[in-house]
Structure 1
Amino acid sequence: MFSRRHHLLASPVCLAIALAGCSGGDEADPGPSEVELTAVAEAPGVGRQRLAMEFGDLFESDQALGETRAALVLHEGEIVAERYGPEYDADTRFISWSMAKTVTAVMIGMLIADGALELDAPAPVELWQRPGDARADITLRHLLQMRSGLDHTEAGDPPYESSEVRMLFLDQRDDMAEFAKAQPLEAEPGEKFEYSSNTTVILADIAADVLSEGSDDPEERRTAVDTYLRTRLFEPLGMDSMVPEYDASGTLIGGSTIHATARDWARFGEFLRNRGSYRGTQLVPRQWIEFMLEPSPPAPFYGGQTWLNTQASDPQNSLYPIDQPAGIFAAIGHMGQYIVVSPQQRLTIVRLGHSDAEERRALLRQINDLIELYPAQ
C-alpha cells in the first residue's frame, strides 16, 4: 500500500527538497506524529521515523484498512513497535478466531513427539473404523493439511447453512466434533484442499481423547487439554493470558476461539520463528514446525494449519499479496487477525482488529511495507 507520504519518501527529488515541497503541488511530508513516534522504540533496527510512519498507517482511518485494535512488531525477539486503539491496551485479551488452528497444530505435534499419536497412521476416530468406511484412510497429516476429503463447507450462502456456522453457533454447537466427524467424504482423502474449522475441531477432539484416556466426561476432557496446553506450551512461553474455550462436550474449540493479549500472540509467533525453541529449550521438535511450514500437496500456500507465502497470486491464499521474501508464514484469523512471521528478517508482526475482505487486501499490503523495511539476513 502506498500513501502520499510513501511516494514522497521513495523519491530522491522529494527528499532533497522536502522542506520546500515537491513540484506538482505535493506538500512536504510532515514526518511521523508524536503518537506515531511514541509507539516505536528508540533503536528499532531500521530508520525510526520511517518505521513510525509505516506502523502508524495501520491505525489511520483514511488508509481503508479497517479498525486496528492492537499491533506489534518484534525484531530479533524485541518489541520495536507497539500500539493500541481506543479502549484497548496491553492487558486486553483478543479473540484468535482461526489463529487458534496453529496452536492446535502445535499441540498435535507435542502428542506425536510424546508417542501418543502417529502422523501417517489412520486418524484414531472410532466412527471411521467400521468395515467398509472409506474415512478410515484419513490420516492426521490429511487433517492437518486440510485435505481430509470430508464434506465440510467453511462458508455458504446463506451462511447459516455452512458446516462452520452450524457447528460453532447453531444446532451442533454442544458437540462440535461429533458433527464434524459424522460428515461423509466428498473426495478421496489427500486429494482435495478445503479449508475447514470443522477439521481442526476433529484434531482437538483427538487430542482430548488421548489426554483424557477416552473419557466421555466433559470436565475431565476439558481439564486434561487445558492442563496439557498450560504446562507444555503456555507457561513455558510466559503466555499467561491464554484463555481457550471448550464446547459442552469438553472439546477445545481449536479452530476458532482462544483469547490472549497481543503480546502473548507475539510470543507464540516468536516461538514458531525459532522453530519450537524458547530460551534454549525445545518445546516441540524442530522437525514438527518444519512440517507445519511444508506445503500441502493440493495447496502450496498452506502448510500444517499455517498459511505460507507461496503462490501469492492464488485467490485462495490468505497471505496475498505478500510473496517476498520466501519463507514468510502466518496464523490468520477471521476479519483480520494476523501473526505474520518472516524468519529471514527475524520479524514477527501482530495485527488484531476488524477488517472486511477488501480492507484485508490493503492491510496486507501495509504489513508487506513494514516487512520490506527490514533487510533479509
Structure 2
Amino acid sequence: MLPHRLSLILPWLALPVLIGCSAASGDSAPPPLDQQALAAVVKQPGTPREALARAVDRLFTAEEMAETRAVLVLKDGRVVAERYAPGYHENTRFISWSMAKTITAVMIGQLVADGRLRLDESVPIPAWQRAGDPRGEITLRQLLQMRSGLKHTEAGQPVYESDEVRMLFLDGRDNMAAYAEAQPLEAEPGRKWEYSSATTVILADLAARALITNPDPAANTPEERRRIVSDYLHTRLFDPIGMRSMIPEYDASGTLIGGSLIHGTASDWAKFGEFLRNKGAVKGAQLVPSGWIEFMLKPSPRNPGYGAQTWLNRPQVDDGTVQWPGVPTSTFSMNGHLGQYVVVAPTLGVTVVRLGKTQDGEHEPVRAGIARIIQLFD
C-alpha cells in the first residue's frame, strides 16, 4: 500500500501527461464563441448555427481579413446572419466601387428591353460614327463583356498614370465619358478581354443618350442627364427592389459614375444580390428579362471567368484562378475595390455580402472566408 501522502501526489504528477495526450489526440474543444458573434446569427439558419457564427466571426477577427465592416448572409431570401463592425450599422451607406458595374449592366438590359439600345449594333457614340473611325465597329455586347479593344490600363503603376485614376480623379474627372471615348483602339473590337472601369462609364453615357428624347443638343445638359438617369434607376430598379438607400454619383457633365460610385446599405446590396439570384424578378414582377440576367452570367468569349459586368466562378483568362474556391461553378459575384463583395450561389439559395477595406493583392483570405460560409449550406 502506498503511503497516504504519495497517493495524493501521484495524480498531480500524471496531469501533464494526460493533458499532453488530450492535445495530441486533437480532442481539445475550440475556444468559446463570443456572444456577439453568436447573436449575429438566427437560431435556425439552415446550417449549424455555431459553425456559421464562427465563419462570420473570422471575417471580422482574423488578422488576414484586414477590416471587415459588414457581413450579411441570406438563405432562400431570409437574412440568417447580419453583423457590423463598431462604427457601422444597418443604416450605414457603403461605397460600391466596382460593384456598381453590375447595376449599370442591369440598367442597360432594361434599355435594350425598352428598344432604346441594341446589343449587337454599333453603339451610338457620335465621335465614333465618323467615316473611317474603326471604333464604329464596337458593339454594346463587346462593351458589356469588357472586350471593346479600346486602349486602357487599370490599376497600373505609377498609380497616377492608370486610366481609371486619371478618369476618376485627375484630367478626366469633369467629363469621364469624353475621356473614356477618346481612347484609341489597341486591339480589334471583340478580340481582347481587358477589365476597364472606363468601359462602364461609356455604358452609363449611352444610357443617358438613350433616355434623352429631345433632339435639340442643348437639351443634353448635365442637369438633365443626372435627372433622367436618376429617375430611371429609382423608378425602374431601386424602388421596385426596395433599395431605398441607394445614392448614385455623377460627374460634372452629368454622367453616372456607373463603374465605381454608388452608395447603399449592406441590406440593399443584399437585396440586389437576391434580385440577380431570382433572375431579375421581385415578388413576381420581372424588372428585366430573365434572359438578360442569363446573358450577364454567360462567360465572355475572351474570359471564361467574366460575364457581362459580372464575375463568374470559372478560371480567369490571365492566371487560371477561380474567384470562389470549393463552391458551385454557377456562383457569381459583384466585386469592388478594397474587398467589397456580393456573392450569389443560386443552386444553394445563398447570398453573402461582405463590405470593408482589404488592400489589393490581399483579397484571397477574404474570398476563402466567404467561400467557407457558402460551403456550410452545401
TM-score w.r.t. structure 1 length?
A: 0.91
Aligned twin of 1:90: 90
SS in 2 for 1:359: coil
**Is the contact made by 1:311 and 1:323 (CA closer than 8 Å) also made in structure 2?**
no
SS in 1 for 2:363: helix
1:366 to 350, 369, 372: 369
Aligned twin of 1:276: 280
Aligned twin of 2:58: 57
Q: Given the alignment of the two structures, is residue 286 of structure 1 paired with residue 287 of structure 2, yes or no? A: no
Aligned twin of 2:354: 351
Structure 1 residue 110: deviation in Å?
A: 0.1
SS in 1 for 2:24: coil
SS in 2 for 1:173: coil
In structure 1, how many angstroms separate the alpha carbons of the residues matched to 2:367 and 2:101? 20
What's the CA shift string for 1:46-79, capped at 9, x where partnerless? 11111111111110143x1110000100000000
In structure 1, how many angstroms separate the alpha carbons of the residues matched to 2:144 and 2:152? 14
Aligned twin of 1:73: 73
Bigger CA radius of gyration: 2
1:305 to 300, 309, 325: 309
**Is the contact made by 2:207 and 2:229 (CA closer than 8 Å) also made in structure 1?**
yes
Aligned twin of 1:184: 184
**Is the contact made by 1:312 and 1:322 (CA closer than 8 Å) also made in structure 2?**
no
**Unaligned runs of at least 5 residues, structure 2:** 1-20
In structure 1, how many angstroms separate the alpha carbons of the residues matched to 2:22 and 2:240? 53
Partner AA of 1:38 in structure 2: A
**Is the contact made by 1:309 and 1:328 (CA closer than 8 Å) also made in structure 2?**
yes
Q: Given the alignment of the two structures, is residue 328 of structure 1 paired with residue 342 of structure 2, yes or no? A: no
* Inter-CA distance 24–323: structure 2 relative to 1 (3 Å threshold): closer
Structure 1 residue 339: deviation in Å?
A: 0.2
Structure 1 residue 127: deviation in Å?
A: 0.6
SS in 1 for 2:203: helix
Q: How does 1:92-131 map to 2 (within 5 A)?
A: 92-131=92-131
Partner AA of 1:102 in structure 2: T
In structure 2, how many angstroms separate the alpha carbons of the residues matched to 1:109 and 1:316? 29
Partner AA of 1:235 in structure 2: D
In structure 2, how many angstroms separate the alpha carbons of the residues matched to 1:372 and 1:207? 38
Aligned twin of 1:339: 342
In structure 1, how many angstroms separate the alpha carbons of the residues matched to 2:75 and 2:279? 16
**Is the contact made by 2:303 and 2:317 (CA closer than 8 Å) also made in structure 1?**
no
Aligned residue pairs: how many?
356
In structure 2, how many angstroms separate the alpha carbons of the residues matched to 1:27 and 1:314? 43
Aligned twin of 1:168: 168
In structure 2, how many angstroms separate the alpha carbons of the residues matched to 1:312 and 1:101? 18
In structure 2, how many angstroms separate the alpha carbons of the residues matched to 1:310 and 1:356? 23
**Is the contact made by 2:314 and 2:323 (CA closer than 8 Å) also made in structure 1?**
no
* Inter-CA distance 314–183: structure 2 relative to 1 (3 Å threshold): closer
Q: Given the alignment of the two structures, is residue 263 of structure 1 paired with residue 264 of structure 2, yes or no? A: no
**Is the contact made by 2:304 and 2:316 (CA closer than 8 Å) also made in structure 1?**
no
In structure 2, how many angstroms separate the alpha carbons of the residues matched to 1:81 and 1:165? 36
* Inter-CA distance 188–323: structure 2 relative to 1 (3 Å threshold): farther
* Inter-CA distance 227–242: structure 2 relative to 1 (3 Å threshold): same
Structure 1 residue 286: deviation in Å?
A: 0.1
1:249 to 234, 253, 273: 253
SS in 1 for 2:354: strand
Which stretch has the larger CA shift, 48-57 or 98-107? 48-57
In structure 1, how many angstroms separate the alpha carbons of the residues matched to 2:353 and 2:320? 21
Partner AA of 1:42 in structure 2: K
TM-score w.r.t. structure 2 length?
A: 0.91
In structure 1, how many angstroms separate the alpha carbons of the residues matched to 2:53 and 2:344? 19
Structure 1 residue 108: deviation in Å?
A: 0.1
Aligned twin of 1:43: 44
Structure 1 residue 312: deviation in Å?
A: 5.8
Aligned twin of 1:12: none
What's the CA shift string for 1:103-160, capped at 9, x where partnerless? 0000000000001110001011111011111101100000000000000111221111
What's the CA shift string for 1:184-226, capped at 9, x where partnerless? 0000000000000000000000001111236321000000000
* Inter-CA distance 321–270: structure 2 relative to 1 (3 Å threshold): closer
Aligned twin of 2:150: 150
SS in 1 for 2:226: helix
Which stretch has the larger CA shift, 284-293 or 356-365? 356-365
Structure 1 residue 31: deviation in Å?
A: 4.3
Percent identity, aligned pairs only?
Answer: 58
In structure 1, how many angstroms separate the alpha carbons of the residues matched to 2:279 and 2:26? 50
Partner AA of 1:328 in structure 2: T
**Is the contact made by 2:305 and 2:317 (CA closer than 8 Å) also made in structure 1?**
no
**Is the contact made by 2:120 and 2:140 (CA closer than 8 Å) also made in structure 1?**
yes
Structure 1 residue 26: deviation in Å?
A: 7.5
Aligned twin of 1:204: 204
Partner AA of 1:129 in structure 2: Q
**Is the contact made by 2:337 and 2:360 (CA closer than 8 Å) also made in structure 1?**
no
**Is the contact made by 1:145 and 1:303 (CA closer than 8 Å) also made in structure 2?**
yes
Structure 1 residue 359: deviation in Å?
A: 3.0
2:300 to 276, 296, 299: 296
SS in 2 for 1:83: strand
Aligned twin of 1:135: 135
Structure 1 residue 228: deviation in Å?
A: 0.2
What's the CA shift string for 1:318-354, capped at 9, x where partnerless? x535253120000000010000000011000000000
* Inter-CA distance 323–255: structure 2 relative to 1 (3 Å threshold): farther
Structure 1 residue 314: deviation in Å?
A: 5.1
In structure 2, how many angstroms separate the alpha carbons of the residues matched to 1:49 and 1:123? 52
Which stretch has the larger CA shift, 153-162 or 340-349? 153-162
Q: CA RMSD in A?
A: 1.8
**Is the contact made by 1:99 and 1:255 (CA closer than 8 Å) also made in structure 2?**
yes
